């Protein structure tokens, strides 16, 4: 392991967030695999409704309770309604049979319609899992990775307990909010990882999330993972050589043997060069704007799943500073 990875995996909770489609789930799965390889007992928590953390680890969809999906790796999926019922059961001893009564409609309205309590209950479940112990009093989980919702929602969840504290002045709920907030504010326990692509909009959202987290003084930003970076870059001399070769190979007989005009080869090279140029510009922009370590993860040309997550884990080990 490298210095940055050791630093990340020493935390208790990592929140992985970024623009939708930036590879949050794949990065989350890779981090879980890396921690499990160290012998840690790890938990993946899927909060992003569009994510599929279990599938990224080669398993079927999971529910609210942790399910073992790989050696040392368990996964659960969070949904607001289930979070509320679990909170009531654990904190106030309200049985699950309440779902069979008219009172359940009130709970459903709170869980799905009121932003503050919904976010607080989600983050409360995460904090509960962090404090959960085995029968002999040891922590149930050594390491937790949270596959967060898209950029626009993650800060509301992370700051939910602090905002709810402003509305309560004492009692059991106040105490629960304080210990939830304390876990998130402890930079030795919790940290935020930002994912991005080397494209304009993902980079803009990554910078905005970084700045918002810094301004909130609530959770440490530990690293940025620049995902799906172009794996091959042409040197200008290589490009000139290819241009010369394509100019020399425009004879109809050559095109016929190739199954198409040689010009398409040059067009493909031009396109690859443009993609790399854009990626380089966005990479530099991200490096200048963020004050955390950045890990570049090469594009994996494969169907998403366990094999891709393993390949990304290997790429992270190679690329991490």
Question: Considering the domain boundaries, does residue 64 fall inside one?
Answer: yes
pLDDT at 202 over 90: yes
Mind listing the pLDDT tens digit for each residue in 265-299?
Answer: 667 777 777 788 888 899 999 999 999 999 999 98
List Cα–Cα distances, 255 to 10, 97, 258, in angstroms.
57, 73, 5
Kindly indicate the confidence band of residue 183, based on its pLDDT and cuts at 50, 70 and 90.
Answer: confident
Averaged confidence pLDDT in the chain? 81
Q: Is residue 276 part of a domain?
A: no
Which is higher by pLDDT, 304 or 50?
A: 304
Confidence of residue 92 (pLDDT cuts 50, 70, 90): low
Q: DSSP 3-state assignment of 301? A: coil
Q: What is the mean pLDDT of residues 134-140?
A: 92
| Predicted pLDDT at 300 | 86
Q: Are strands 67-70 and 293-298 parallel, antiparallel or unpaired?
A: unpaired
Single pTM value for the model:
0.81
Q: pLDDT exceeding 90 applies to what percent of the chain? A: 43
pLDDT at 113: 46
pLDDT for 260 equals: 66
In a domain, 213, yes or no: yes
- List the CATH number of the domain containing 204: 3.40.50.300
Q: What is the pLDDT of residue 109?
A: 47
Residues 7-16: what's their mean pLDDT? Answer: 94
Please report the pLDDT score of residue 114 as a whole number.
Answer: 45
What is the pLDDT, as a whole number, of residue 206?
A: 95
Give residue 65's pLDDT. 87
Identify the residue with better confidence: 80 or 75. Answer: 75
What tens digit of pLDDT does each residue of 22-78 get? Answer: 999 999 999 999 999 999 999 999 987 676 899 999 999 888 889 999 999 999 998
Cβ pair 80, 111 in contact under 8 A: yes
> Where residue 85 falls among pLDDT bands split at 50, 70, 90?
low
Q: What is the mean pLDDT of residues 110-129?
A: 68
264 located within any domain: no
pLDDT at 39: 94
Write down the pLDDT at residue 89. Answer: 62
Q: Picking from 76-80, 137-141, 191-195, 238-242, which range would have the lowest pLDDT averaged per residue?
A: 238-242
Give residue for tokens 């050594």.
Answer: 142
The larger pLDDT score, comparing residue 163 to residue 53, is at 53
Number of folded domains in the chain? 1
Instruction: Give the structural domain span for 190.
Output: 3-233+293-319
Q: Which residues pair with 191 in a beta bridge?
A: 14, 220
Residue 101 has pLDDT above 50, yes or no: no
Q: For residue 183, is it within any domain?
A: yes
Torsion-angle region of 39 (φ positive above 0: left; ψ -120 to 50: alpha; else: beta) = left
CA 244 to chain centre: 44
Question: Does the residue 20 lie in any domain?
Answer: yes
Greater pLDDT, 312 or 259: 312
What pLDDT does 5 receive? 92
User: 194: how many CB neighbours lie within 10 A of its CB?
Assistant: 32
Q: What is the pLDDT of residue 110?
A: 47
Calculate the CA 235 to chain-centre distance. Answer: 33
Does 210 fall in a domain? yes
CB 125 within 8 A of CB 157: no
User: Is residue 241 in some structural domain?
Assistant: no
Mean pLDDT throughout 122-141?
89
């Amino acid at each position: 392991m490298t210095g940055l990875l050791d630093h990340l995996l020493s935390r208790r909770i990592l929140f992985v967030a970024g623009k939708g489609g930036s590879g949050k789930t794949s990065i989350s799965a890779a981090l879980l695999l890396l921690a499990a390889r160290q012998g840690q007992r790890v938990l993946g928590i899927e909060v992003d409704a569009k994510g599929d953390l279990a599938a990224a680890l080669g398993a079927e969809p999971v529910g609210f309770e942790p399910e073992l999906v790989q050696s040392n790796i368990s996964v659960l999926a969070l949904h607001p309604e289930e979070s509320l019922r679990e909170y009531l059961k654990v904190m106030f001893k309200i049985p699950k049979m309440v779902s069979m009564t008219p009172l359940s409609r009130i709970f459903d309205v709170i869980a799905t319609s009121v932003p503050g309590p919904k976010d607080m209950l989600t983050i409360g479940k995460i904090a509960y899992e962090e404090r959960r112990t085995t029968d002999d009093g040891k922590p149930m989980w050594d390491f937790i990775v949270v596959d967060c919702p898209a950029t626009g929602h993650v800060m509301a969840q992370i700051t939910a307990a602090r905002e709810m504290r402003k509305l309560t002045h004492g009692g059991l709920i106040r105490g629960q909010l304080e210990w939830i907030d304390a876990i998130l504010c402890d930079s030795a326990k919790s940290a935020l990882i930002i994912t991005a692509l080397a494209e304009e909009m993902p980079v803009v959202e990554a910078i905005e999330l970084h700045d918002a987290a810094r301004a909130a003084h609530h959770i440490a930003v530990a690293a940025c993972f620049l995902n799906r970076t172009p794996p091959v870059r042409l040197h200008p001399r290589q490009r000139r050589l290819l241009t010369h070769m394509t100019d020399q190979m425009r004879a109809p007989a050559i095109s016929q043997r190739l199954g198409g005009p040689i010009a398409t080869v040059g067009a493909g090279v031009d396109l690859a060069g443009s993609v790399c140029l854009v990626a380089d510009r966005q990479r530099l922009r991200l490096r200048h704007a963020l004050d955390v370590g950045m890990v570049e993860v090469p594009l994996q040309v494969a169907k998403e799943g366990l094999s891709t997550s393993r390949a990304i884990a290997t790429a992270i080990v190679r690329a991490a500073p």
